[in-house]
Amino acid sequence: MTRSLLPAFFPALALAGAATPALAAESGGGMNPVAVTMFVAIVLVTLGITGWAARRARSADQFYAAGGQISGFQNGIALAGDMISAGALLGLAGLICASGFDGLIFAVGYATGLPFVVFLVAERLRKLGRYTVADVLATRLSETPIRIFTAVATLVIVMFYLIAQMVGAGQLIRLLFGLDYLYAQVLVGALMIVYVMFGGMVATTWVQIVKAVLLLGAGLVISVLVLASFGFDYDALVARAIAVHPRHEGMMMPQAYAGSVWQSVSLGMTLMLGTAGLPHVLMRFFTVPDARAARVSVFWAVMCQSGFFALIFVIGFGALAIVAGDPAYLDAKGALRGGGNMATIHLSHALGGHTLMGLVSAVAFATILAVVAGLTLTGASAVSHDLYARIIGRRSATERSEMRVSRLATVALGLLSVLLGIAFQSQNVAYMISLAYAVSCSSTLPLLILALYWRGLTTRGAIAGGVTGLVAAVLLTVLGPPVWVKVLGNAGPLFPLDPPTLVTMPLAFLTAVAVSVMERRRAPAAAMAPAVPV
């Protein structure tokens, strides 16, 4: 993915450009009182939810999986909250504004991920798992090595995501309050630790629900105002957008990946299949009471997500039609002030002044908080449940000690994320997000698919395939355009595909199958795994 495309669907990249002097000046030269008021209200509501949830999260089952008592509808809204983000509201709309049809491709591709989750893994996950993905794999494979690998892969994915979220949240807080970036990072880290440490999955779920409702509401308000500006005539809106765009009718044709079939296939695989391997998304299916509720969750999540991306089409074309041609929102070079990812912010200001702009900014921050909480809980669960309770302290661990380790892991992850957020403040973190999806497609997803659908998978095969996919995803991303060219400044990449999923995912599958087959031939009786009880 190019640097201009990645921010479209990942929040930190969209928000990293938010805290610009131009934008701050536009909002009044200082703090936006509406944004600050909304921010404080959101923090108070979410802290109230955490206090309520803390009284219910007294057991490991409640802490990790909300006791399995979240309904399919509630979990569907929370799952949609995991999938739709400030990056979509700001960055994807900005991509549609800048590139037209390319933005629509990303929106459609991103929206197709959840159906693959339900078709491939959701129902079987709920039947086999308890708290984490490793629980599912451990029903088929040797517990100690598979839990160690899964925990490592989970932490890698979580940390890449978490760094990006922290950078974006810190920049947004700096915009709203004028705080130093360091203090903004500490504030976000403290809120994240409180949500997870005391409220667990119950608090995380309800924070996600609140965030999803706010984000859908903000998108709907902006869309209605955009359509009202054109007499609710969508054709008139698109016609105006085409007239304003430099490529005119050409904006309705694909550009970025039109000349590279393999690049397009690799991107499509990443967008569609990456979701099915993301641990913080898969963990949601352990919060519902049964497999039917898991299917219902995906239904409502897909409905909300698809509706949201339909609104993004209107918002993106609206930003192009209303803002892109207005000199008040352009810099000296004719580009949007603050960067293309600020298209929605500028549009909200053009439609509703400081009030709507403040509302959208505060909702964007709420989405970051919710995603950060979910990621932190997933990472803490990998440490406390998979590593401590099942391996390190297998014989001595109690439920109470496991929860204590989880809370300590939450604090450690929070502090580490703050430090990394500070360290990567001035860096382009696009490659980390693409790497998280590539690692998901190349490590956890292949192992889940093989464990759920193939009796011949062995522990050695699973570890070999997972490690190969993980290492290949990291290495080829470093050698590809995101790092080798854009970060390290070399003239051209050593590996052309970005993301490298087209190579790394089949490589993981083939390695796992080949090693398993060879092991079974050497020792058929010992290597044969039991059938999955689904």
Q: In terms of DSSP H, where are the helices of 319-444?
A: 343-381, 399-423, 430-439
What the block records as the tokens of 299 is: 């239904």
Residue 118 is predicted with a pLDDT of 65
pLDDT at residue 526, rounded to an integer? 47
> Tokens representing 348?
């909200």
- Each residue's pLDDT tens digit, 226-260: 999 999 998 899 889 888 887 787 777 776 665 57
What is d(CA 238, CA 242) in angstroms, rounded to the nearest whole number?
6
**Two structure tokens written together for 294:** 């898991």
Q: Are 244 and 321 in contact (CB under 8 A)?
A: yes
Residue 40 contacts residue 187 (beta carbons within 8 Å)? no
* Three-state secondary-structure class, residue 458: coil
Four-point Cα dihedral 213, 214, 216, 219, nearest 10: 170
Question: Mean pLDDT over residues 178-187, rounded?
Answer: 80
184 in Cβ contact with 439 (< 8 Å): no
Position 348 pLDDT exceeds 80: yes
Closest CA to 89 of 308, 281, 245: 308
Structure confidence at residue 183 as a pLDDT band (50, 70, 90): confident
In contact, 333 and 9? CB cutoff 8 Å: no
- The more confident residue out of 492 and 98 is 492
Among all chains, which residue has been given the structure tokens 């192992």? 447
Return the percentage of the chain with pLDDT > 70, whole number: 84
Q: Which of 84-98, 123-137, 341-355 has the highest mean pLDDT?
A: 341-355
Residue recorded with tokens 């049809």: 101
Among residues 185, 153, 155, 186, which one has the least CA distance to residue 170? 185
Other CB atoms within 10 A of residue 175 CB? 26
CB within 8 A of 412, min separation 6: which ones?
Answer: none
- What are phi and psi for residue 141, nearest 5 degrees? -125, 170
Q: Provide the residue ranges of all domains of the chain, joining segments of one domain with +.
A: 20-426
Q: What is the pLDDT of residue 478?
A: 84
Query: Could you tell me if 154 and 316 are in contact, meaning their C-beta atoms sit under 8 angstroms apart?
Result: no
Bridge partner list, 330: 336
Residue entry with tokens 């932190």? 376
Of 384 and 249, the one with more pLDDT: 384
β-strand partners of 336 = 330
Can you tell me whether residue 214 is helix, strand or coil?
helix
Neighbours of 382 (CB within 10 A): 29
> How many angstroms separate the Cα of 497 from the Cα of each of 160, 259, 436, 482?
20, 13, 15, 10
pLDDT at res. 232: 92
Residue with tokens 């491709």: 105
Cα separation, 346 vs 357, whole angstroms? 8
From CA 24, how far away is CA 363, in angstroms rounded?
A: 17
The whole-number average pLDDT for the span 366-384 is 83
Higher pLDDT, residue 206 or 164? 206
Burial of 327 from C-beta contacts in 10 A (0-12 / 13-18 / 19+): exposed
- For the record, the structure tokens of 41 come out as 């209200």
Instruction: Answer for the pair 460, 520: CB distance below 8 angstroms, yes or no.
Output: no
441 and 273 in contact (C-beta within 8 Å)? Answer: yes
Q: Is the pLDDT of residue 385 over 50?
A: yes
HEC profile for 278-347?
CHHHHHHHHCCCCHHHHHHHHHHHHHHHHHHHHHHHHHHHHHHHHHCCCHHHECCCCCECCCHHHHHHHH
Q: Element (H or E) spanning 157, and its range?
A: helix 143-177
Average pLDDT estimate for 342-351: 85
Q: Looking at residues 175-195, what average pLDDT do you find?
A: 79
pLDDT at 7: 41
- For 20-426, CATH gives 1.20.1730.10
Query: pLDDT tens digit string along 516-526?
Result: 999 888 875 54
Higher pLDDT, 404 or 247: 404
- For residue 115, the surrounding DSSP H or E stretch is helix 113-117
d(Cα 214, Cα 511) in Å, to the nearest integer? 44
Q: How far apart, in whole angstroms, are the C-alpha atoms of residue 13 and residue 8?
A: 8
Confidence check: pLDDT of 6 > 50: no
List C-alpha distances in Å: 239 to 147, 236, 310: 55, 5, 18
Give the dihedral of Cα atoms 449, 455, 460, 461; nearest 10 deg: -50
**What is the separation of C-alpha 192 from the centre of its chain, rounded to a whole number of angstroms?**
16
Report pLDDT for 101.
Answer: 74
Amino acid at 410: T
3-class secondary structure, 3: coil
Q: pTM for the full model?
A: 0.79
- Output 436 or 27, whichever has higher pLDDT: 436
Report which of residues 113 and 446 the model is more confident about.
446
Mean pLDDT of the chain, nearest integer? 79
